[in-house]
Amino acid sequence: MSAPAPAPPPAPDSGVRRLSTAAWGRVLRSTAAGEGRPGARFAGLFGTGGADGSVRLLAVLFPHTGAEPLVLETVLPPGRLSYPSLSPWLPAAFWYERALHDLFGVVPEGHPRLDPLLLPLQEPGRTPLPGTARAPGPLVPDEAALPRAVIGPGVFTIPHGPVRSGVVESVEYLVETPGEDIPRVQIRVFHKHRGVSKRFEGRTVEDGVAAAERVEGVASVAHALAFCHAVERCAGLTVPWAARLVRVLYAELERVANHLDVMVKLTDAAGLAVATARFALHKERVLRLTGRLCGSRFGRGAVVPGGVSGLPCLSPAALDGALAALRDAVRADWRAALHTPSFLDRLRGTGPLPPAVARAHGALGPLGRASGAGPDVRYERPYDAYPSLGLGAPPDFAEGDVMARTLVRGAELTRSFELLHQTSGELRALDCDAALRVPVPDAPSGFAVGSAEAPQGETLYLLRLREGRISRCVPRSASFHNLVLFHEVFAGDVLTDFPFIEASFGLSIAGVAL
């Protein structure tokens, strides 16, 4: 298969529209109302601190399906770090505005609930201001209980986490309940906050990709891809065909491992010990195969700016044989699980996300696609070798419950194995001297947005380079964008449904508490 010539990357800072704060708010509110930009999707709201105490706000929109991102920028001057909140008109901005308040001290006036999200500080004046030279010392969180919203006779709050049994990330759910029903859940993720965006500052792009791989470990390849796509746009690089194939290989192996991990957690919640062991075994085989290919079970070090670090260490024939055996085993156990009545009873009708809510929020990944929404970057803005491979049609479901999310992942697993088979065939046809990387210029400068489809959904990187060094890097995972919807899916559910709903979201807390 011949590789089509990719479109030239956009010039640095293209797609950035600078507005006054009043005009910036008006455009975003009209977008939320469906005016002016029909079909526009809100993808995130971010900040950058200035040395003079100002804060630059960047809102990312996708004007329509398949469009490149549009970045709307405004500057809040020193001493006036406030603006009219977007959340009343644009619910998807709810967590983004809380994060801005924690990291920059920006006040979105009229925000529905400006509780701390990432940094509940006892000393609010010590905000870290990413993008500036400020390097605050250890920050002491204020762990006081959040105010309760559900009150009445017999109502109590169950703190679930941050430390739980098993291997789970640090997150605290405050479940407000009268006994069994779950009318409200509050989420506290600050236990996992690591100040990731500050850690990129001043690094070279080579060091930056290593940091990106560790933002959200279960999606290491996707984060490396999104970061490298941003670097390559800034530098105007065209990645060789062989490297684009290898990138797809590692990205799809990562997707398979993550979807199997979700099934491990779902079957464990249902008490299906044999099924749990089987899916854990399959996931382990995928991770070991990835390790044999590149030396890292998480695919780290494989994706680099300008290409890849090398060809897979297994021959394409050996790789295809291992994938075929794995595919057959996964397919058999997946079919057996979905023919187990006691398992299906726990999935059907549990934790439904209404399609209208999913569309209004711009829900990402399998969570969104199970509710009739959910963009997939591989289809909307195909990258690397995806335009030349047979992606087929994306999964189409609208029920929005745990069952639908499981069926979406099953369909994606099937497609991933097909893509892996195609990729191994293309690798077999490569010339042994095929180029794998193009050099990055010595001192690239500019701003770009890079993206990739992680197993959890669309991953974005907002990157600014100055003479080859990272001056600002903002990762946005699908986990951060989606987890706020956890509040929306408990209508009619009870406490024993909690682990099924949590597992079906398939998110990473590390990707939330950046």
Residue with tokens 């290989």: 249
Q: What is the pLDDT of residue 214?
A: 96
Does pLDDT of 153 surpass 70?
A: yes
Q: What is the pLDDT of residue 180?
A: 78
Query: Exposed, middle or buried by CB within 10 Å (0-12, 13-18, 19+), for 337?
Result: buried
* Strand stretches in 180-318, DSSP E: 184-188, 303-304, 307-308
- Sheet strands side by side (includes 457-466): 446-454, 457-466, 469-476
Q: Which helix (H) or strand (E) holds 18?
A: strand 16-18
Q: Per-residue pLDDT tens for 281-313?
A: 999 999 999 999 999 999 999 999 999 999 999
Of 355, 359, 361, which Cα lies nearest the Cα of 96?
361
Q: What is the pLDDT of residue 35?
A: 52
Residue 159 or residue 385, greater confidence: 385
Under the banding of pLDDT at 50, 70 and 90, the label for residue 392 is: confident
Q: Per-residue pLDDT tens for 56-88?
A: 999 999 988 888 899 999 999 998 999 999 999
Residue with tokens 């489809």: 453
Q: Which of 30-44, 184-198, 387-401, 484-498 has the lowest mean pLDDT?
A: 30-44
Residue 284, C-beta contacts closer than 8 angstroms, at least 6 positions apart? none
Under the banding of pLDDT at 50, 70 and 90, the label for residue 341 is: very high
- Tell me the mean pLDDT in the region 255-263: 98
* Strand stretches in 275-376, DSSP E: 303-304, 307-308
Does pLDDT of 137 surpass 90?
A: no
Q: What is the pLDDT of residue 61?
A: 94
Q: What is the pLDDT of residue 8?
A: 46
- Tell me the mean pLDDT in the region 384-394: 91
Express as a percent the part of the chain with pLDDT over 90.
Answer: 69
Q: What is the pLDDT of residue 1?
A: 53
Mean of all residue pLDDT scores within the chain? 90
- Tell me the mean pLDDT in the region 222-242: 96
What helix, strand, coil percent values describe the chain, rounded to 5?
A: 40, 15, 40
Does pLDDT of 347 surpass 90?
A: yes
Does pLDDT of 389 surpass 80?
A: yes
Amino acid at 8: P
**Distance of alpha carbon 344 from the chain centroid:** 28
Q: Per-residue pLDDT tens for 4-35?
A: 545 445 445 657 899 999 999 999 988 765 65
78 neighbors 52 (Cβ within 8 angstroms): yes
Does pLDDT of 326 surpass 90?
A: yes
Burial 153-162 (b: 16+ CB within 10 A, else e): eeeeeeeebb
Of 503, 478, 506, which Cα lies nearest the Cα of 95?
478
Q: Which of 58-67, 154-163, 243-252, 262-271 has the lowest mean pLDDT?
A: 154-163
**Six token digits for residue 503:** 């597992």
